[in-house]
Amino acid sequence: MRDVAVVGVGMTKFGEVWEKSLRDLFVEAALAAIDDAGVDHVDYMTVGCMTSGLFVGQEHLASLMADYLGQKHLGACRVESACASGGLAFRTAFTEIASGMSDIVLAGGVEKMTDISGDGATYALAAAADQEYEVFHGATFPGLYALMAVAHMEKYGTTREMLSAVSVKNHNNGSMNPYAQYPFKVTREQVESSVMVASPLRILDCSPITDGGAAVILTTVDIAKKLGKPFIRVIGSGVATDAIALHSRDDLTTLKATKVAAEKAFKMAGKTIKDVDFAEVHDCFTIAEIVVSESLGLFEPGKAGEAVLKGETGLDGSFPINTSGGLKSKGHPVGATGVAQIIELVKQLRGEAENGRQLKTDPRIGMTQNMGGSGGSTLVHILEVG
């Protein structure tokens, strides 16, 4: 298997982007990544997108995006794994390079989510849950994560204050991210007085509906060296699935797919969680960041909330999480999220994170965790300075 590196990154500003279409968002991010990499061609392209058919009525994205990128006959594919579609696009590109099938690959993700009503968006996103056993009976994703939050509170004593601390931390980080949808700080009081969505989760516990695109360029380490630019090696990749429906899982307070995917990624990398300096994780809801942190092995079960309160996961903490602002502040265009997480890792490892959120510890290894639905699928990637 060949060594793989990321040599270029590009993304659009996340938010309610009325003036740009699905294809516009993808092409903008792709061209920025190509320009950053300094490559004159790509051999293949992967597109991560959850449900453009329901959001904007457009499928067949591989052909569409290749055409509008000016690469009409390029080999391309579209991949889907709910909110982990971007992470799967990155892994697909990684395996394309590692296997020797292609030398330079563009991995992108995109979603246009704000062109339909809130009810329409809820319906589209619910396609990632179990339709017969959850959605038919009225379950929504805020409701499902609320069940996870209640279970975690009952089992470990996790508090409302701990959930709020995740939101406050991530908004603080996102306030420094020029690409973030909600680049402003919030207080604990604002979080806890915001409108209730599904008890105990309030609106400031929830990631938003977002438009956006993100893209990266991958190639072999040998080609990366010839380009003469800083590159970041991909040293670990893991993917796993679990039952979609919460009632089919053994424990609502952990995410088995995340555990297994991380184990695979660490085995490939020859590393452990102790070797990692920081992470971008899938904080679609504040409770998700807490559960993910424990499932990755960063904290013992029931201890992540306390760690957030102590500042251990802040920019100056012992293990920073979601330096980009996470899904909570940066936004969550579901097909693009996993790729955007990779971009934040690359920026931090290059020393290029904007506006004061660059980690001062000279990070060498970072990891991403991107999951679909309520954790039915997970991608974990580990990157290291080349």
Alpha-carbon distance 92 to 83, whole Å?
16
Exposed, middle or buried: residue 6 (CB in 10 Å: 0-12, 13-18, 19+)?
Answer: buried
Exactly one of 49, 83, 206, 284 is catalytic; name it. Answer: 83
CB 30 within 8 A of CB 69: yes
Residue 373 banded pLDDT, cuts 50, 70, 90 = very high
Residue 384 banded pLDDT, cuts 50, 70, 90 = very high
Tell me if residue 49 is catalytic: no
For the stretch 196-210, pLDDT in tens is 999 999 999 999 999
User: What is the reported pTM?
Assistant: 0.98
For the stretch 83-126, pLDDT in tens is 999 999 999 999 999 999 999 999 999 999 999 998 999 999 99
Mean pLDDT of the region 183-190: 98
Exposed, middle or buried: residue 8 (CB in 10 Å: 0-12, 13-18, 19+)?
Answer: buried
pLDDT confidence of residue 43: 98
The secondary structure of the chain in percent helix, strand, coil, rounded to multiples of 5, reads: 40, 20, 40
* Residue indicated by tokens 């499902």: 144
**Strand ranges (E), 152-195:** none
- pLDDT greater than 90 at residue 18: yes
Mean pLDDT score of the chain = 97
Q: For the chain, give the percent of residues with pLDDT over 90.
A: 98
- Kindly list the domain boundaries of the chain, sorted by start residue: 1-386
CB 143 within 8 A of CB 78: no
Alpha-carbon distance 332 to 284, whole Å?
8
Mean pLDDT of the region 354-373: 97
pLDDT confidence of residue 246: 97
pLDDT confidence of residue 118: 87
Exactly one of 152, 171, 332, 381 is catalytic; name it. Answer: 332
For the stretch 250-300, pLDDT in tens is 999 999 999 999 999 999 999 999 999 999 999 999 999 999 999 999 999
pLDDT confidence of residue 229: 85
User: Facing residues of 44 across strands?
Assistant: 75, 105
Tokens representing residue 79 in the block: 């991949």
For the stretch 30-46, pLDDT in tens is 999 999 999 999 999 99
Alpha-carbon distance 316 to 277, whole Å?
12
Superfamily of domain 1-386: Thiolase/Chalcone synthase (3.40.47.10)
* CA–CA distances in Å: residue 325 to residues 18, 181, 280, 287, 291: 23, 10, 9, 15, 17
Alpha-carbon distance 121 to 215, whole Å?
24
Supply φ then ψ for residue 146, to 5 degrees.
-65, -40
For the stretch 321-350, pLDDT in tens is 999 999 999 999 999 999 999 999 999 999
Tell me if residue 332 is catalytic: yes
Of 154, 214, 139, 153, which is closest to residue 180 (Cα–Cα)?
214
- pLDDT greater than 90 at residue 150: yes
